[in-house]
Structure 1
Amino acid sequence: MSALVFPRSRSFFFPMSLYSITGAQLAFGHVALLDHADFSLEAGERVGLIGRNGAGKSSLLKIVAGLMKPDDGLVTRQQELSTVYVPQEPEFEADASVFDTVAAGLVEARAHLDEYDAVAHKLAETPEGAEHDALLARMNALQSSLDATDAWNWRTRVSTTLAQIGLDGGARVGALSGGMQKRVALARALVVQPDVLLLDEPTNHLDFDGIRWLEELLASQRAGLFFITHDRAFLDRVATRIVELDRGRLLSYPGNFSAYQTRKAQQLEVERVENEKFDKLLAQEEVWIRKGVEARRTRSVGRIARLVQMRREREERRNVQGNVKLDVGQGEKSGKIVAELIDVTKRYGARTVVNRFSSVVMRGDKIGLIGPNGAGKTTLLKLILGELAADEGTMRAGTNLQVAYFDQMRAQLDQEKSLADTISPGSDWVEINGAKKHVMSYLGDFLFAPERARSPVKSLSGGERNRLLLARLFARPANVLVLDEPTNDLDIPTLELLEELLTDYDGTVLLVSHDRAFLDNVVTSVIASEGAGNWREYVGGFTDWQVQSERSQQIAEQAAARDAAKEAAPKEAAPKESAAGRNAQRTVKLSFKEQRELEALPEKIAALEAEQKTIGAQLEDGSIFAKDPQEGARLTERYAAIDDELLLALERWEELEGKRK
């Protein structure tokens, strides 16, 4: 089951926390996942839980769901609190209908309804007496519960929830895509109308439209929300508080992910300074205790006790966990042109996946492929790499290509092989950029302890398998990196390091990802699906594509509206208009004012473009934000405003030119 349901209360406004844990402890073997941790969830809060892979985030979520218990600590929850948990990979009966699967979320309410009918029937046949009174009391209790949960109308609730989420109740669950199955899991949770909603990686399997839909859905919910995700853009748009599980402690940061980043950096700097002061004092005390006989005469019992305590504190200090050390093996330079496609078309049966697409991929390009699930991103990748023949058009591959491929399905990993053999089969060494490195040390760079080097791949978690695949990918010299959903299951620090590596990488990167922040931080252009097999290339990252595509759509809609108006106008005016009048319309000249405006527009457009280029240069290195944050914010707003002014100027120029023809 993907949803665990507790009895619910109709009230969403509580005088105290919905749920709290005090002094929680949880350990697996010698690893402390929770070390005297405290957590609380208030009504209406949307709390994002972040932390390293393997830190214990899913375990904490299961504790809140009631699926696990901490080793120690106090857990308190509101009376009659309804909590629903949606795991990372929900399980369904493949042959069940969507309606029945969603209705399974109300299994307890429906059981009470069935019991109410049975008790009412039995009550009618039972003469007055002790049994009759007991049945009547049970029926009244059931009625109160059914009233409180609105269980009388459960079919309507299921149908309404399906309509809100855009699901066909008659569809078979097993026939749905991963993204649509995720919607079914959310529908099964939301139909309960819970007080607390718990989500583990809710954006997995969702495309951009699905993620945007989920953001809007969760923002409109009144339930308390506690969720795990590594999607930074999702955290920014949904979370009202960030809780970080860091070395066994739970640290709370009000606000979204951007606010957390600022506060976290400040906190780590304070921690570093305090540790330096502590270490300096400890070193002084160690020198004192080691002095000769003369020093021993002046020893203080209290000072010795303090030194012993300081040593203990130093041993117990939680050092920041090391980061993955990423370094890609650089191959020889490829040719200047990596791939050239001219009017390429690819069909599967009657379906056109790529329709007359043209593009030139140059050495050093970092290109993101964007489109809904099933649009054909992987097909387009294979066409660019020359791994798939086109049905029509011309394709030319570049010279000296060394391609390293990251597969989202992890099919490249042999489950029975050890980690060491996966990285360097038959050898204890790997070579990175001409330098030899022992495989144990190299695995350590990816946070794999030496004792795990001989463990089989099948023993790894999803995030660890991703790290291993990256380790194998980067151990091979390459000048073209093809990354198909590389960010799945990676924690945020590893994501940020991977971004830095790809940004500094001299070779070519072809990237498929649904992580909007990752695309914005890595790619220099995107190739986006526009439906019916049509693909278009845009300069910039994900946000740039959004702005440009929305603007293109607006211009197209405005042009269509103008064309429709032009077609309609002559038909309505025809009966009242003479031939001379129609000829006069066709030869209308611009007014003096419009002529002057048209003449001034090229200079205005050039000035706006120059101003935007100047601002872009100021913003590029980011130093303006450190020197003068207010000026940085002002320039950012002005840069966006110039886009709108340019659009209006270009539209006006097109309109006036059209009148002059």
Structure 2
Amino acid sequence: MAAPILAFEGLGLVQGSGWLFRNLDIHIGPRDRLALIGRNGAGKTTLLKLLGGSIEGDEGRRTIVPGTRVVILEQEPDLRGFATLRDYVMGGDDAPVSYEADSIADQLGIDLSREAASASGGERRRAAIVRALAQDPDVLLLDEPTNHLDIGAIEWIEDWLKRFRGAFVVISHDRTFLTRLTKQTLWLDRGAIRRAEVGFGGFEAWTEQVYAEEQRQAEKLEARLKLEEHWLLRGVTGRRKRNQGRLTKLHEMRAERASMVGPQGSANLVTGSDDTKSKVVIDAKNVTKAYGDRTIIGDLTLRVTRGDRIGIVGRNGAGKSTLLKLLTGEIQPDSGSIKLAQTLDAVVIDQQRSLMAPEKTVREVVVDGGEWIDVLGVRKHIHGYLKEFLFDPNMVDAKIGSLSGGERSRLLLAREFAKPSNLLVLDEPTNDLDLETLDLLQEVIGDYDGTVLIVSHDRDFLDRTVTITLGLDGSGTVDVVAGGYEDWEKRRATQTSGKRASKKVAATAPPAPAPRAKLTYKDQRDYELLPKRIEALDAQIASDAAKLAAPNLYMRDNATFARLTAAIEAARAEKEAAELRWLELAEQVGE
């Protein structure tokens, strides 16, 4: 292993009334490609700033090889005081060489003469990338570099980093980006740092080993972690296993939906009975929308049925927002028609934080200052509901201003997902979310009974959630592909320019099912009976939760309150174990 060019020994930092982390030892070699992983609020961004020297730790020693240039790409570039994006890029003592900046700006497609005050999030991000890369760094510290970027820009920066001769440390929620680029991993977890000489592709397997070893050590010492301390770890490992089962279900849904997607103009776009047609929630026929001389959406015909998960992808400016507004009835087409089901009740989560006033508390945002929240007909206490969204229940009275950007996004999801709806509209939902929250978001979407429309540049997220992808190329063409981003990418690679005249392409037929695996008698019985047991546990939990919601029960009958609470916890634990057992058996059957 090469000698490090940047290192920290015994790093510690106080935040608030305690240590954010302490006794961290970090070293960065001259060609390291490091993924920095950790939950929102763990201190990842702060750690990057410490490594970059923009803030100082409360203890520890930072060493750096003389002449090493360390550059930080911050998550939110500060453009205050700059008239144009060029002024920002070329400002300061560490300004890059002008021609290098112009070359990178040209490749990224950013006009540096744009006024800084009116620049969009994507333009600000591109300007920050130009400034960072043009400085010719030896160590590049990247904080969510793909935020606000479209697919083309993400692929460009991936190619640049593959050719980069220095070292980089990257924080990102984009699994595809991390998997393609990183070769080592730093895991910031519960105030400690771990390093593995594997890229992000091996991260989940590594963490499973760490958690398993911690569990063995706790059992050896006969001092198992308390439930309140261990719920997150159990939730993470359990969620990953459940999501494997959801992926199996998703592939089945894609195969079913593939048979419903036919050539543009076909009268039989959705096959099946009248019952299938009654499930149509959005019916678009020969829809065209133009601005000036430019056609944004051209002659699109599409039926969206109840339960569909629709992903919308394309470069910035290709028309994704226009298509989303057309499908939700916010704007009308120039020609053609769009009919929405009369019962459609939408919740739109667009990452706007108007609800997130810094002076408000978590309790005020989620339950308007109360104790209980109704979630899809089930009444839940705020403490339990916050745990479902990976918050420590003790944060219930924390100020919004004290939360990280990712925690605020997660809190917004918790509030909005509690509202009754049959249509979810998610506009770039993955920005600022950590990987564990993305797992949670995938789980919520997978369990959602209604229809979901997702605009996202997160390729892995789309591959794990959507049944149909609508791909826009900016010419007005909308490719309709059964599957996720990877399926659309394969379609793009095989399409010729002549074939692209067709707006809708028949989806690939699903592969023939694999032969069913042999199960033991007990396995077969569990596979058949566990779904009924899970339904019974759901009913029991709902019944006990309804009793627990009785007014002033805690004050009137504390013993009953405690009994019901314990019963709900036990039923949920049994349900989780049953789900995991059934999913393991389902995987055997699938194999």
TM-score normalised by the chain length of structure 2: 0.73
- Highest Rg: 1 or 2? 1
**Corresponding residue for 1:187?**
130
Within the candidate set 483, 493, 512, 1:613 is matched to 512
Question: Aligned partners of 1:375, 1:362: CA distance in 2, in Å?
Answer: 25
**Corresponding residue for 2:72?**
85
Within the candidate set 430, 433, 436, 1:490 is matched to 433
**Corresponding residue for 1:393?**
336
Kept in 1, the 8 Å contact 2:374–2:380? The answer is yes
The residue type equivalent to 2:43 in the other structure is: G
Within the candidate set 260, 284, 304, 1:361 is matched to 304
Within the candidate set 31, 40, 44, 1:44 is matched to 31
1:454-603 alignment, distance < 5 Å? 454-553=397-496, 556=499
1:343-382 alignment, distance < 5 Å? 343-382=286-325
Kept in 1, the 8 Å contact 2:309–2:451? The answer is yes
The residue type equivalent to 2:22 in the other structure is: D
Question: Aligned partners of 1:507, 1:165: CA distance in 2, in Å?
Answer: 38
Task: Render the CA deviation track for 1:558-597: whole Å, top value 9, x for unaligned.
Answer: 99xxxxxxxxxxxxxxxxxxxxxxxxxxxxxxxxxxxxxx
**Corresponding residue for 2:6?**
19
Question: Aligned partners of 2:200, 2:461: CA distance in 1, in Å?
Answer: 14
Within the candidate set 43, 49, 56, 1:69 is matched to 56
Question: Aligned partners of 1:168, 1:334: CA distance in 2, in Å?
Answer: 47
Kept in 2, the 8 Å contact 1:370–1:526? The answer is yes
The residue type equivalent to 2:316 in the other structure is: N
Within the candidate set 154, 158, 166, 1:223 is matched to 166
Within the candidate set 402, 413, 418, 2:345 is matched to 402
1:442–1:525 CA distance, 2 compared to 1 (3 A): same
**Corresponding residue for 1:437?**
380
1:199–1:320 CA distance, 2 compared to 1 (3 A): farther
**Corresponding residue for 1:57?**
44
Kept in 2, the 8 Å contact 1:334–1:479? The answer is no
Please give the secondary structure, in 1, of the residue aligned with 2:300: strand
1:15–1:353 CA distance, 2 compared to 1 (3 A): closer
Task: Render the CA deviation track for 1:408-430: whole Å, top value 9, x for unaligned.
Answer: 22345555544323323375321
**Corresponding residue for 1:145?**
none
Question: Aligned partners of 1:189, 1:355: CA distance in 2, in Å?
Answer: 39
**Corresponding residue for 2:180?**
237
Q: How many residues align?
A: 483
The residue type equivalent to 1:17 in the other structure is: P
The residue type equivalent to 2:21 in the other structure is: L
Question: Aligned partners of 1:430, 1:334: CA distance in 2, in Å?
Answer: 35
Task: Render the CA deviation track for 1:265-309: whole Å, top value 9, x for unaligned.
Answer: 122112212211111xx69xxxxxxxxxxxxxxxxxxxxxxxxxx
Please give the secondary structure, in 2, of the residue aligned with 1:553: coil
Kept in 1, the 8 Å contact 2:363–2:369? The answer is no
1:200-215 alignment, distance < 5 Å? 200-215=143-158
Task: For residue 511 of structure 1, report the CA deviation from its aligned partner.
Answer: 1.0
1:480–1:161 CA distance, 2 compared to 1 (3 A): closer
Question: Aligned partners of 1:210, 1:426: CA distance in 2, in Å?
Answer: 42
1:273–1:374 CA distance, 2 compared to 1 (3 A): same
Question: Aligned partners of 2:75, 2:344: CA distance in 1, in Å?
Answer: 38
Q: Which runs of 5+ in 1 are unaligned?
A: 1-13, 111-153, 284-313, 328-332, 560-607, 633-661
The residue type equivalent to 1:548 in the other structure is: R
Question: Aligned partners of 2:45, 2:302: CA distance in 1, in Å?
Answer: 43
Question: Aligned partners of 2:475, 2:492: CA distance in 1, in Å?
Answer: 16
Task: For residue 247 of structure 1, report the CA deviation from its aligned partner.
Answer: 0.7
Task: Render the CA deviation track for 1:584-634: whole Å, top value 9, x for unaligned.
Answer: xxxxxxxxxxxxxxxxxxxxxxxx979x4246999xx9989998xxxx9xx
1:262–1:28 CA distance, 2 compared to 1 (3 A): same
Please give the secondary structure, in 2, of the residue aligned with 1:79: coil
The residue type equivalent to 2:45 in the other structure is: S
Question: Aligned partners of 1:260, 1:507: CA distance in 2, in Å?
Answer: 33
Please give the secondary structure, in 1, of the residue aligned with 2:474: coil
The residue type equivalent to 2:324 in the other structure is: L
**Corresponding residue for 1:29?**
16
Task: For residue 162 of structure 1, report the CA deviation from its aligned partner.
Answer: 4.2
Question: Aligned partners of 1:406, 1:427: CA distance in 2, in Å?
Answer: 23
The residue type equivalent to 2:69 in the other structure is: S
Task: Render the CA deviation track for 1:389-435: whole Å, top value 9, x for unaligned.
Answer: 22221121124223222122234555554432332337532122433
Task: Render the CA deviation track for 1:491-525: whole Å, top value 9, x for unaligned.
Answer: 10111122122123222111111111110000011
Kept in 2, the 8 Å contact 1:215–1:234? The answer is yes
1:162–1:385 CA distance, 2 compared to 1 (3 A): closer
The residue type equivalent to 1:552 in the other structure is: Q
Task: Render the CA deviation track for 1:344-369: whole Å, top value 9, x for unaligned.
Answer: 22334444332221100001111101
Question: Aligned partners of 2:166, 2:208: CA distance in 1, in Å?
Answer: 31
Please give the secondary structure, in 2, of the residue aligned with 1:38: strand
Moved more, 451-460 or 177-186: 451-460
Question: Aligned partners of 1:166, 1:425: CA distance in 2, in Å?
Answer: 44
Please give the secondary structure, in 1, of the residue aligned with 2:61: strand
Please give the secondary structure, in 1, of the residue aligned with 2:78: coil
1:553–1:175 CA distance, 2 compared to 1 (3 A): farther
Q: Which has the higher contact order (CA 8 A, sep 6+)?
A: 2
The residue type equivalent to 2:164 in the other structure is: Q
Task: For residue 85 of structure 1, report the CA deviation from its aligned partner.
Answer: 1.4
Moved more, 442-451 or 354-363: 442-451
**Corresponding residue for 1:278?**
221
**Corresponding residue for 2:210?**
267
Kept in 2, the 8 Å contact 1:94–1:172? The answer is no
Task: For residue 96 of structure 1, report the CA deviation from its aligned partner.
Answer: 4.3
The residue type equivalent to 1:272 in the other structure is: Q
Task: For residue 95 of structure 1, report the CA deviation from its aligned partner.
Answer: 5.8
1:624–1:552 CA distance, 2 compared to 1 (3 A): farther
Task: For residue 548 of structure 1, report the CA deviation from its aligned partner.
Answer: 0.9
The residue type equivalent to 1:533 in the other structure is: G
Task: For residue 168 of structure 1, report the CA deviation from its aligned partner.
Answer: 4.8
Question: Aligned partners of 2:293, 2:405: CA distance in 1, in Å?
Answer: 37
The residue type equivalent to 1:486 in the other structure is: P
Kept in 2, the 8 Å contact 1:254–1:260? The answer is no
Task: For residue 536 of structure 1, report the CA deviation from its aligned partner.
Answer: 2.3
Task: For residue 537 of structure 1, report the CA deviation from its aligned partner.
Answer: 1.1
Task: For residue 160 of structure 1, report the CA deviation from its aligned partner.
Answer: 4.4
Please give the secondary structure, in 2, of the residue aligned with 1:453: helix
